């Protein structure tokens, strides 16, 4: 995935420190959820994108073999897609969904557990089926809640 929500320096730092990638993910994800709940989908989208990018960094560190990394990636993608849908960015949502599915396919080819990858795929497809392509404001699966501590 070629996302640009984190600057190159920040991304390089996260690649060197997988624990930091998890912390950045949690803060970005939590902020995106809060902003979305306040009706600020545009601002939430930027934070959700940063969460996706941090999750991709974490996935690359463990090749998707840690189920928590796969969950964080899927959760971030669900939140990102939900914000895109609220902003009526259906074309971007379709492109993003394709890139996310390709990321999961690549992980499985690299040896990530099939069951975890398939579960992540099902979660993304459930968002798609619930209205990413629809013109209305269908409600998809709610992003999961996490606590900072």
pLDDT in tens, 58-92: 888 776 677 888 999 999 999 999 999 999 998 99
Question: Which residue's structure tokens are 């994108």?
Answer: 49
Q: What is the mean pLDDT of residues 99-122?
A: 91
Name the H helices within 3-143.
8-16, 18-37, 41-62, 67-86, 90-109, 114-127
Is this model's pTM higher than 0.85 or not?
Answer: no
Higher pLDDT among residues 80 and 142, named by residue: 80
Residues 6+ away with beta carbon under 8 Å from 38: none
139 pLDDT more than 50? no
Sign of CA dihedral 7, 13, 16, 17: negative
Judge whether residue 123 has pLDDT over 70.
Answer: yes
Position 67 scores a pLDDT of: 84
Integer CA distances (angstroms), 71 to 58, 60, 83, 123, 146, in order = 11, 14, 18, 10, 11
Continuous segment of H or E residues that includes residue 22: helix 18-37
Residue 9: pLDDT above 70?
yes
Please say if the pLDDT value at position 129 is more than 70.
Answer: no
**Average pLDDT for 86-106:** 92
CB 77 within 8 A of CB 52: yes
- Tell me, what's the pLDDT at 29? 96
pLDDT band at 19 (very low <50, low <70, confident <90, very high): confident
88 is written with which tokens? 């009526």
């Amino acid at each position: 995935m070629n996302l640009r929500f984190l600057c190159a320096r920040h991304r390089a730092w996260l690649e060197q420190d997988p624990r930091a990638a998890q912390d950045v993910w949690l803060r970005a994800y939590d902020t995106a959820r809060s902003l979305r709940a306040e009706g600020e989908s545009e601002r939430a989208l930027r934070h959700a994108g940063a969460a996706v990018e941090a999750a991709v960094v974490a996935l690359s560190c463990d090749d998707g073999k840690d189920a928590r990394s796969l969950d964080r990636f899927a959760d971030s993608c669900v939140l990102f897609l939900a914000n895109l849908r609220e902003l009526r960015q259906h074309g971007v949502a379709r492109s993003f969904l394709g890139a996310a599915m390709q990321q999961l396919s690549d992980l499985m080819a690299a040896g990530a557990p099939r069951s975890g990858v398939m579960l992540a795929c099902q979660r993304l497809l459930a968002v798609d089926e619930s209205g990413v392509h629809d013109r209305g404001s269908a409600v998809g699966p709610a992003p999961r809640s996490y606590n900072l501590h």
